[in-house]
Structure 1
Amino acid sequence: MDLYALPPIAALLDGAHTVLMGLAGLLEPLIGVSSAAAAVVLVTLLVRAALIPVGISQAKAERDRARLAPKLAELQRRHKKNPERLQREMMALYSDEGTSPLAGCLPMLIQAPIVGIIYALFILPTIAGHPNELLAQTLFGVPLGSSLAGSVVAGTLAPGAVIVFGVVIVGIALVGEATRRVFALRPDAAAAGRPAGAPVSPLAGAGAVRVLGLLQFITAVIAVFVPLAAALYLFVTVAWTLAQRVVLRRAYPLPEVRTA
């Protein structure tokens, strides 16, 4: 069964195709043959701008989790031998505080189908019964529908493509490293005299920090296998997310850590 042929999905893809081709046409006099790539970047920026309210909600949720961390740690200490009681007490605490352990997850859930749409736009030869014109578009001569892994396997990887893919993928990795460094340790924890890397919540132990650090680079790995257009989307997204988190962290700072 071809999911992309289902009427609702086909209509959504056709609409996205029309929007991107329309933007590419508007940008072509200014940018030339890379106008479709510029359209992908512009659409990404518009999507991220539309998600700013959700990002604010996520920042507030992060602040709330940090504020509740001492209470959660105390509940774990008191009920560590009774997991069911611990779960009930934790849920009651979240309810009393008007928050949830899953608060702030909406951006990730929203982003997944958007990446899926862009991915589909650059792998399908036909969309809603008509040829996919986006497959003929390029960025500095590299087809937007090609991937680094696919080009290597097919033996069609040219030096220019290495540079284009390298800039995008390495850029994603560098932004991931910057994100890891900026948010690895809360500044207020250091100011309060806590040891570097000290947990600020039950979920921020050394193991969790290592996992979160690794997750920052998974996006770069994904970019190796997805079409160049989707990799561009990911690059702009991670860069925007880093800048937005820095701004929102200043607007909604985490609570200061009190030393004993």
Structure 2
Amino acid sequence: MLKYRLISAFILIPVVIAALFWLPPAGFAIVTLVVCMLAAWEWGQLSGFKSRSQRVWLAVLCGLLLTLMLFLLPEYRHNAHIPLIEGWLWLALGWWCVALLLVLSYPASASVWRRSHILRLCFGVATIVPFFWGMVVLRSWHYDDNHYAGSVWLLYVMFLVWGADSGAYMFGKLFGKHKLAPKVSPGKTWQGFIGGLLTSAVIAWAFGALAHLDVAPVTLLTCSVIAALASVLGDLTESMFKREAGIKDSGSLIPGHGGILDRIDSLTAAVPVFACLLLLVFRTI
């Protein structure tokens, strides 16, 4: 299993970085749309839709929804201050606050949504669509002035998430004793959680110093810490839904890693939350 995980990582990481820096915003939006369709396919299982045809339709409808919204916008170089995009980013902030309450009160909270396919489907929409727009607006950051500015920001958020995940794994293995959320994800510990945050803080400091990001240090630190916290919540939320669905992985598309959602669960929370804070709350433009 470890061999497949390493092989997949060595293939996927260069592909992701190449897509960030080589694709123009329109091409990047299309690739992200395809990823979101695959995520919607897998979320169908978390929503209780067992039929393959039902899940295919969910993926198709997700693609059509995102495509329609893209065509409704005035131009392909999108920014967060277009009302449609702004609304989805604010929705992300609200949804992840709700998700935090659901995780903290699990399994009692499951009695509200366990038997409702529609409610779980709405949770999926609130997860996937804002993630799409967060990716798109960060990639389009100051594109006319610098084609790679947005790529650097997205790579920064990804490094934060990867750092939090890797730091949590290492610190959890070395020092983990106290369970973080045993009813949701028994393998996670408070020691790993703190280690992940420390790792993200180091990455934020180093990346900010080396990349010369044009943002006030306090703003960058605030957005980064909250995004790192959101990444943990994204992981826990998917684990909660998988536990209710009785499955270990959201899919089997990536050898050794599970499905698309298993790889982007942390990003689905971190990216839109970071984009909302940076572009709408702190108005960094």
- Do the two structures share a fold, i.e. TM-score over 0.5? no
TM-score of the superposed pair, with normalisation by structure 1: 0.30
Decide which structure has the larger Cα Rg and report it.
1
TM-score of the superposed pair, with normalisation by structure 2: 0.28
